[in-house]
């Protein structure tokens, strides 16, 4: 099995216009942003003047910390909020975006490749006769994957350590016209261990951990130190058959083969497996890598 290049193919409200010199120029619905991207080590295809002309909002980091500031023009405001839509088959997600102090806008567009996977696999389990498909989304951010699984008919538990981000996910649920998602503000490791003790089971688990993080009570998360233990605990929550898993890793320097090896050792082989790089292509055919992914499906 060889690693694959995984990219979303159904975006209408998102476009990577250009990338290079450590930045990316993107369109989210009607608005165009310019923000840092360490993976874009090549030269931009458009001139600096063209970037300046096109961008409605430009993010620059502060020298003192990880935060930064947006400079806006042409009718856009630093407190701007707007919606984008993502469609795949009959699935239609509506996501609220905003300009945050950490350069993010509320969605990771490359993750749409996993949303399609979740929609397909939840439906496959239902077609196979499984009732009440249960999905656990850890480090779930604003809930794109949560919404995809719920839209497909799964019962979804959404876990994130940041209360404001969970509230953002609820807004996306309401905007999409969905309901009955279980929202949890908690440390991922603590929550999973409690679910193991309770004897809970899920058909699918999604893990989207950061390189470093803190739980709501200051719990320390370091990807390199903690991911293996978390995967081992998650393995206790899903059955050997009729199950699936998605693991995303964003930390630079971690490979897709590393993710696949860790998943295989703990969960065992699966009839359907994929691993590789998540990427988006800009308009000038430059492929921007944005993380690695390992996922499986056991029928």
Q: Which helix (H) or strand (E) holds 261?
A: helix 256-267
Choose the CATH number for 4-81 among 2.60.40.1180, 1.10.3720.10, 3.90.70.10, 3.60.9.10. 2.60.40.1180
Domain boundary assignment for the chain = 4-81, 108-298
Note whether 208 and 85 are within 8 A (CB): no
3-state secondary structure 90-149: CEEEEEEEECCCCCCCCCCHHHHHHHHHHHHHHHHHHHCCCCCCEEEEECCCCCHHHHHH
pLDDT confidence of residue 219: 86
The pTM score is 0.96
Report residue 218: phi and psi, to 5°.
Answer: 85, 10
Helix, strand, coil % in the chain, rounded to nearest 5: 30, 35, 40
d(CA 275, CA 247): 9
Within 13 A of 122's CA, how many CA atoms are on the CB side?
Answer: 29
Choose the CATH number for 108-298 among 3.40.50.150, 3.30.750.200, 3.90.1640.10, 1.10.3470.10. 3.40.50.150
Q: Which helix (H) or strand (E) holds 170?
A: helix 163-176
Q: From 191, 142, 145, select the one nearest 170 (Cα to Cα).
A: 142
Residue position matching structure tokens 């930064």: 68
d(CA 238, CA 43): 45
Q: From 113, 86, 122, select the one nearest 208 (Cα to Cα).
A: 113
Find the helix packing angle between 188-198 and 223-235, rounded to 10°.
20
pLDDT confidence of residue 16: 98
pLDDT confidence of residue 252: 64
CB count within 10 Å of CB 152 equals 24
Q: What is the pLDDT along the chain (299 residues), one digit of tens a residue?
A: 889 999 999 999 999 999 999 999 999 999 999 999 999 999 999 999 999 999 999 999 987 677 899 999 989 999 999 999 999 999 999 999 999 999 999 999 999 999 999 999 999 999 999 989 999 999 999 999 999 999 999 999 999 999 999 999 999 999 999 999 999 999 999 999 999 999 999 999 999 999 888 888 888 988 889 999 999 999 999 999 999 999 999 866 789 999 999 999 999 999 999 999 999 999 999 999 999 999 999 99
Cα torsion 21, 71, 102, 185 to 10°: value is -140
Q: Which helix (H) or strand (E) holds 60?
A: strand 57-61
Contacts of residues 11-15 at CB distance under 8 Å and 24 or more positions apart, as own/partner, are 11/86, 11/109, 11/112, 12/85, 12/86, 12/87, 13/84, 13/85, 13/86, 14/84, 14/86, 14/107, 14/109, 14/112, 15/283
Query: Distance from CA of residue 102 to its chain's centroid?
Result: 16
């Amino acid at each position: 099995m060889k690693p694959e290049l995984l990219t979303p193919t159904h975006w209408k409200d998102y476009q990577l216009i250009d990338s290079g010199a450590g930045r990316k120029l993107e369109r989210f619905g009607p608005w165009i942003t310019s923000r840092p991207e360490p993976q874009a080590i090549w030269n931009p295809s458009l001139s600096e003047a063209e970037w300046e002309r096109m961008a409605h909002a430009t993010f620059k980091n502060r020298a003192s910390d990880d935060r930064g500031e947006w400079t806006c023009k042409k009718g856009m405001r630093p407190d701007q909020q707007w919606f984008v839509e993502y469609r795949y088959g009959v699935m239609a997600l509506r996501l609220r975006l905003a300009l945050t102090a950490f350069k993010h806008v509320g969605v990771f567009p490359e993750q749409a490749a996993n949303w399609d996977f979740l929609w397909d696999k939840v439906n496959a389990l239902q077609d196979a006769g499984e009732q009440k498909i249960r999905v656990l989304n850890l480090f779930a951010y604003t809930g794109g994957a949560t919404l995809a699984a719920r839209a497909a008919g799964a019962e979804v538990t959404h876990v994130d350590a940041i209360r404001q981000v969970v509230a953002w996910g609820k807004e996306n649920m309401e905007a999409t016209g969905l309901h009955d998602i279980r929202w949890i503000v908690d440390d991922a490791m603590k929550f999973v261990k409690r679910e193991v003790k309770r004897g809970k089971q899920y058909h699918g688990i999604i893990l989207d951990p950061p390189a470093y993080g803190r739980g709501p009570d200051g719990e320390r998360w370091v990807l390199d130190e903690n991911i293996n233990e978390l995967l081992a605990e998650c393995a206790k929550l899903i059955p050997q058959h009729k199950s699936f898993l998605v693991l995303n890793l964003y930390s630079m320097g971690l490979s897709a083969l590393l993710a696949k090896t860790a998943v295989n050792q703990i969960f065992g082989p699966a009839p359907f497996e994929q691993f590789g790089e998540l990427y988006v292509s800009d308009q000038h055919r430059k492929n921007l890598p944005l993380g690695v992914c390992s996922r499986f499906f056991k029928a």
